[in-house]
Structure 1
């Protein structure tokens, strides 16, 4: 038995709006259920699969009960510029949660925003040590 191509699915209010938002971070669309009014769009970034799906059709088609509020998943995105990524996310419709700050004794800089559907996104940057000189 083999498994491949894992994907996290986020339940969203508008698949196309969510896909536009995640494309800001470099996600590229790989599938959509239909050209007009898609009920699911799939995207990838660096081998990570992200599905953006409407909760109603998912419930009707698959008999699941999507949770559509609260922090039900967190996407972590590594970046080389956490302040820049944080500013872009806020400018493009993310809600502020926690601004850039040091973490793990200053080894990382971390910020949290919420995407337009309320899913938390953790933006993380490794802090390089200054060269000894």
Structure 2
């Protein structure tokens, strides 16, 4: 038995809006169904798979009970400029949660929320 191409799925209200937000960080679309008004879009960045799916079809076709409120998951993205990444996220429809700030040994961190309320952590290593 072989497994490959793991993916985390975030349940969203609008797959295309969510995909546009994550595309600003360099995620590339690899799949969508159907072509117009999709109920699922898959994206990839550096080997990390991210699925963006409507909760209705997951419940109707697969018997899942998608949780669509609260902090269901947190996406962490490493960057070389946390201030710029935070500004780009907000310009793309995200909302600021925690302004860029020093954290632990040599890190700079900010949090934004994507258009569906999922927390996104932006992390930068500071020069020693």
Q: TM-score, normalised by structure 2?
A: 0.98
Q: Match of 1:80?
A: 80
Q: Match of 2:20?
A: 20
For 1:88-107, list aligned pairs within 5 A. 88-105=88-105, 107=106
Computing the radius of gyration over CA atoms, which structure comes out larger, 1 or 2? 1
Q: TM-score, normalised by structure 1?
A: 0.94
For 1:1-133, list aligned pairs within 5 A. 1-105=1-105, 107-129=106-128
Gaps (5+ residues) in structure 2? none
- The CA distance in 2 between the partners of 1:3 and 1:116, in whole Å, is 31
Query: How far is the alpha carbon of 1:4 from its aligned partner?
Result: 1.2
Would you identify which runs of 4 or more consecutive aligned residues in structure 1 move more than 2 Å?
none
Q: Which SS does the other structure have where 2:4 is aligned?
A: coil
Query: How far is the alpha carbon of 1:2 from its aligned partner?
Result: 2.4
Q: Which SS does the other structure have where 1:38 is aligned?
A: coil
The count of aligned residue pairs is 128
Q: Which SS does the other structure have where 1:128 is aligned?
A: coil
